Structure 1
């Protein structure tokens, strides 16, 4: 049996907003990436997903959050949706965005180190909430673990 190709990486899961869920998401992502031959991107993807999942658990008022992991064009896209709606008050929205940005400081550093992109905003999905994402270039992400081991 031949392993699935990298561009066939397209998974999603719904997890409870519980303290154990970021660890479950990291383990699942590691298995998925390795199964698709994307071993070189495991460390940075697992770190990014763990940060996004932990933030979702902290902010969502719902009992669960949604995770999507995709590969296309030599880029891994990690997306997490939580149920925290956008505030209607500009002052509250700015304060909430600041807290979320602060909670994602490590994500910003990790994604920046591999030349990726990240962000968050209002979900366009039915039900609303917040969408957080990270785009991780596989070639650069592969050097992420080696560079950090030397540091």
Structure 2
């Protein structure tokens, strides 16, 4: 009888309704997936940044959102969030709009995308036109990556 070896690469996808509880469901899903794959070292950052992107999708659209969590072969974790609004916000856009301004100390919002800029190793985004996947006919996809194996580690 052979031994089954678990892959270092995997993908989880989740479709979320336009619901104020979507960020909580996304956090719980991310926590369960990363915990089951032994990736606790990046769990807090992934959970926080995922929650910020899902919250923005809820606040700035009227439709569903999708979450895709991908473990890459080199140890990086990529999180992608699709929503139905086509505008690419900073820091996901192109220069000179690729940096998020600091929120005022008394502001009640405006810090989420700054957190992505500060804690993710890389990020990006693109608008999806009519030629996108069938269930994602329009909108945008924002992604970020965290982690990876250090050279010499």
TM-score normalized by the length of structure 2: 0.70
Deviation at 1:121, TM superposition (A): 2.3
The structure carrying a bigger helix percent of its residues is 1
How many residue pairs end up in the alignment?
125
Gap change, CA 1:138 and 1:30, over 3 Å in 2: farther
Partner of 1:57: 58
Determine the C-alpha separation between the residues in 2 that align with 1:55 and 1:3.
38
Q: Is the 8 A contact 1:5 1:36 kept in 2?
A: no
Q: Is the 8 A contact 1:22 1:54 kept in 2?
A: yes
Determine the C-alpha separation between the residues in 1 that align with 2:32 and 2:8.
13
Select the residue among 118, 124, 142 that pairs with 1:119.
Answer: 124
Give SS of 1:13's match: strand
Partner of 2:114: 105
Partner of 1:130: 140
Gap change, CA 1:74 and 1:19, over 3 Å in 2: same
Deviation at 1:49, TM superposition (A): 0.6
Runs of 4+ in 1 over 4 A off after TM superposition: 2-5
Q: Counterparts in 2 of 1:1-150, with a 5 A limit?
A: 4-7=6-9, 9-62=10-63, 64-72=64-72, 73-86=74-87, 104-111=113-120, 116-123=121-128, 125-126=132-133, 127-139=137-149
Give SS of 1:84's match: coil
Gap change, CA 1:3 and 1:15, over 3 Å in 2: farther
Aligned-pair Cα RMSD in Å: 2.8
Gaps of 5+ in 2: 101-109
